[in-house]
Amino acid sequence: MPLVVCTGLNSHQGPHLELLKSAGFDVRYEAGKSDFYQPANLIAAVHDAAAIIAGSEPYSADTLSKLPKLRAFARMGVGFDAIDVPACDARRIVVATTPGVNHHAVAEHTIALLMAVARGFPARDQQVRAGAWKRISTPRIMGRTMGIVGLGRIGQATAVRAIGLGMRVIAFDPFPNQDFATANRIEMVSLDEIYAQSDFVSLHLPMSKENFHLINATTLAKMKPGSILINTARGLLVDEQALYDALKSGHLAGAGLDVFEVEPLPTTSPLLEFDNVMFCGHLAGLDHESHHDTLKMCAEIILMLHRGDWPKQCVQNLVGVSDWKW
């Protein structure tokens, strides 16, 4: 039977293993055994794979050309910008994601970062550890404005939580769900209005050519003085040099960052000098429930494809293809 290689974080256990093995698949776990951001290591780990349960490791066109048996990716999560989709199209490799399983996890993580930075962390933690007992007030979060950029599943889940905190929520989305916005009294506005009005700007857009460095020197300058940027979406949405400059000048009061232009974030990054920035290593979508459901869906996608079914809601490429076969 075909080999499924698991390269996604913590995929060494979960419901996917029994589902795949009971269907006769061979399953091998490779995550964490080497640095998969080095192409040679990644190729060695997945060379014989017919399907990959993938994390955020990069699959370039060159890497894909060295994987002769590969038929499908089941990506843990909803982002797939680390995979060269045109190259997959050319090789008729399915790129599938797991929508609808981690939006609550990302929303909670977003609010955690927002609350932490707004209340003065990580500086307050560092001060106590250093024996410095400083008591400085911060603005109350209730009543302040949160601007959500991208009102899809994750943006909606974040909005509901922000409203629950007593915040005013405004949002931008290129294809807005007006019924949701109306029901939750969310005003849909332009991006410029998001920047001008928001005390917190939270990013929830996918990565695309149009969205590359959406947050840059120009857009940061439009943000309210003293506002805070939260990014739990994709690192390449933010020009990190421009963000550094905005933090250094004091124009921004802080930031909460789960994703970065280069991952893992290099220890030489100048962003690390700030004690008003909270960092996390691309973990927003990971909680026990989402992890279980994501792995289960990954296995179900692979099983469907192998028996000739087409999980349309999960497949992100091969548009118009009707004759794909395993």
- Is the pLDDT at 9 greater than 90, yes or no? no
DSSP class of 238: B
Q: Report the relative pairing of strands 72-75 and 51-54 from DSSP bridges.
A: parallel
> Tell me, what amino acid is at 267?
T
How far is it, in rounded angstroms, from Cα 240 to Cα 63?
27
| Dihedral sign (CA 99, 105, 108, 109) | negative
pLDDT digits (tens, 9 = 90+) for 112-130: 999 999 999 999 999 999 9
> Tell me, what amino acid is at 179?
D
pLDDT digits (tens, 9 = 90+) for 139-149: 999 999 999 99
pLDDT value of residue 197:
98
**pTM summary value:** 0.90
- Domain architecture of the chain: domains with CATH: 3-101+287-306 (3.40.50.720), 103-279 (3.40.50.720)
- Is the pLDDT at 1 greater than 90, yes or no? no
- Is the pLDDT at 168 greater than 90, yes or no? yes
Residues 6 or more apart whose CB falls under 8 angstroms from that of 172 comprise 147, 148, 149, 150, 151, 188, 189, 190, 191, 193, 194
83-103 core/surface letters (b: 16 or more CB in 10 A; e: else): bbbebbeeeebbbbbbeebbb
pLDDT value of residue 15:
97
Task: Work out the average pLDDT over 246-272.
Answer: 97
Q: How confident is the model at residue 103 (pLDDT cuts 50, 70, 90)?
A: very high
DSSP class of 80: -
Report the percent of the chain where pLDDT is more than 70: 100
The values of phi and psi at residue 173, to 5°, are -155, 135
Active site residues: 234, 263, 282
Q: 3-class DSSP state for residue 63? A: helix
pLDDT digits (tens, 9 = 90+) for 302-324: 999 999 999 999 999 999 999 99
Average pLDDT, the chain: 96
pLDDT value of residue 326:
95
